[in-house]
Amino acid sequence: MSLGADRSYKMKLRDVENAFKYRRIPYPKRSVELIALLAISCTFFLFMHTNKLNSRLKEMEVKLQPSEFSALGLTSNHVSGHDAGKHDDINTLHGTYQYLKSTGQLWRLNPKFLNNTKYHTRDILFFNRVPKTGSETLIELMLRLGKRNHFQNARSPFAKPTGVYWSFEKQKEEAHRILDLMEEDAFAYAEHANYVNFRQFHLPQPIYINLVRDPVERVISWYYYKRTPWNSLQMFKITGKFENRTHYTKNFEDCVLSHDFECRYDYGLNFKDDPADHKRQSLFFCGHAPLCE
């Protein structure tokens, strides 16, 4: 190869390298890179959203001065439960412990005795679902498993009021109603309702399952869920009316700071003061007795 031809070949090779070097690539060449880019973007926006939420919660803590906590019925005693003069108050954690200890019931707080699965006599599963904890997803899973494993599924209708407080007779009526729905050997039922002890009516006790969630995140989720268009439409079918525009546009922070009724989380709230508003998860595990208030 002559010197001129060699030089021409090198120049062409350099031009090709430069073309690839400075070529603009508008999108990743491989789908894996595109997926990675989307994942990084989603993670970034999720982080920003969480960071913003934490900042707003801290701002609310600063705005809510001790006097305002008192107005909400919350004191340091209720938060810590370690005040020397309140040790015998059954509404505190320490008071409950002392009560169970003094009445000889402490031994029952053992997983061996609390788990009633091994004592069941019929294959009945009761999902007394805590609202806004992902219960719809679990119900969908139960439906699919029911088709695969041949067990019956049923759930309460949307229009049925949540079982926040039932009298003894109402509990008995509901227990019989649930068992009457059972048409197959294995049965799973889902409803928003407080715990019911079926044994007190001489009925087979179902196996209870449930889900829980961070309490602050849950009440915020419930607040905005009530304002979704589809839920508002469902409520309109039941009540025949919509709320005013302010109800749908007000954010959770303003609701708490203005001490609106639906955003007051008072200590020791009675059943009658908390009708089906799902502010406490504990009721779904305690029941309908006055002690659960």
As annotated, the active-site residues are 192
Give the C-alpha separation, 95 to 193, whole Å: 27
Give the C-alpha separation, 146 to 187, whole Å: 9
What are the C-alpha distances in Å from 265 to residues 63, 74, 142? Answer: 16, 9, 33
Buried b (16+ CB within 10 A) or exposed e, 131-168: bbbebeebbeebeeebeeeebbbebbeeeeebbbbbee
Residues 6+ apart with CB under 8 A from 224: 252
The two three-digit tokens of residue 149, written as one number: 């494993």
